[in-house]
Amino acid sequence: MIALIDYGAGNLASVRKALAHLGATVTTPDAPADLASAGGIIVPGVGNFGVTAALGPDWQTAIRSHIDLQRPLLGICVGMQWLFDESEEAPGHPGLELLAGTCRLLAEENSADGRTGPTRLKVPHVGWNSLHLTKPSWLLDGVAEGDQVYFTHSFAAPVTADCVGATQYGIVFAAAVERGHVGGVQFHPEKSSDVGLRILNNFLRRVS
């Protein structure tokens, strides 16, 4: 059973529909204690990082206990950013702090003269973009270099040792991350056609 967490920041209907298409049993837990019976957890999310504050200490403890039992967790979009330490989008609201780093506003790497700092891009970044695979990954198993997935976001996570797939929009940012049984994607697999369904199916395989 997959626990799809509703903290008021995601289009759960699309994710639930994609999971049902893949034959998964999905529940939306009412309380942190409900996570004890879940084989896997998905934390979706759109919008401002600050909404993750709704996932308070009780939820965080239950999610960490789930991870300690070697049960898979997948973060989607803001749900992936929440796996990191923090985001510039909501100063003072820490993430789950499973992955080191700060999510930052998308920007150009350098301005035209090459001497000044990063310049702002048109954000949000909305639409299809390609994946660059950075290392072997259970989450991206069967995904090919250059496959297209659907993004909608203004902030992004850094490329660290946990990055398994990167994308460039101005800067190069982490599009998919993985550490042990924990994975995350900045894009929306539920809106990314066959490639997205493959990624969700990889998660379900990990759960099983």
Q: What is the pLDDT of residues 39-83, one digit of tens each?
A: 999 999 888 999 999 999 999 999 999 999 999 999 999 999 999
* CA separation for the pair 48, 4 (Å, rounded): 19
Model confidence at 17: pLDDT above 90: yes
* CA separation for the pair 98, 21 (Å, rounded): 30
Q: In this predicted structure, what is the pLDDT of residue 108? A: 77
Q: What is the pLDDT of residues 89-142, one digit of tens each?
A: 999 999 999 999 999 999 876 545 555 566 667 889 999 999 999 999 999 999
DSSP designation for 176: E
* Active-site pick, 125, 153, 181, 188: 188
Q: What is the dihedral of CA 87, 88, 90, 95, to 10 degrees?
A: 20
Name 189's Cβ contacts closer than 8 Å, sequence gap at least 6.
Answer: 18, 76, 149, 195, 196, 197, 199, 200
Q: How far is CA 178 from CA 20, 74, 95, 138, in A?
A: 24, 9, 16, 8
DSSP conformation letters of 45-74: --S-GGGGGGS-HHHHHHHHHHHHTT--EE
Q: Is 77 a catalytic residue?
A: yes
Please state the φ and ψ torsions of residue 76, each to the nearest 5 degrees: -120, 125
Q: In this predicted structure, what is the pLDDT of residue 111? A: 47
Q: Is 86 a catalytic residue?
A: no
- Average pLDDT value for residue range 180-204: 98
Backbone angle region of 48, left / alpha / beta, with phi > 0 → left and psi within -120 to 50 → alpha: beta
Name 10's Cβ contacts closer than 8 Å, sequence gap at least 6.
Answer: 44, 45, 46, 76, 77, 78, 79
121, β-bridge pairs: none
Q: In this predicted structure, what is the pLDDT of residue 194? A: 98
Q: In this predicted structure, what is the pLDDT of residue 118? A: 60
* CA separation for the pair 60, 64 (Å, rounded): 6
Name 117's Cβ contacts closer than 8 Å, sequence gap at least 6.
Answer: 110, 111
* Active-site pick, 77, 103, 125, 153: 77
In this structure, which CATH number among 3.40.50.880, 3.40.250.10, 3.20.20.70, 3.10.180.10 belongs to the domain 2-207? 3.40.50.880
Q: Is 109 a catalytic residue?
A: no
Provide the mean pLDDT of the chain: 93
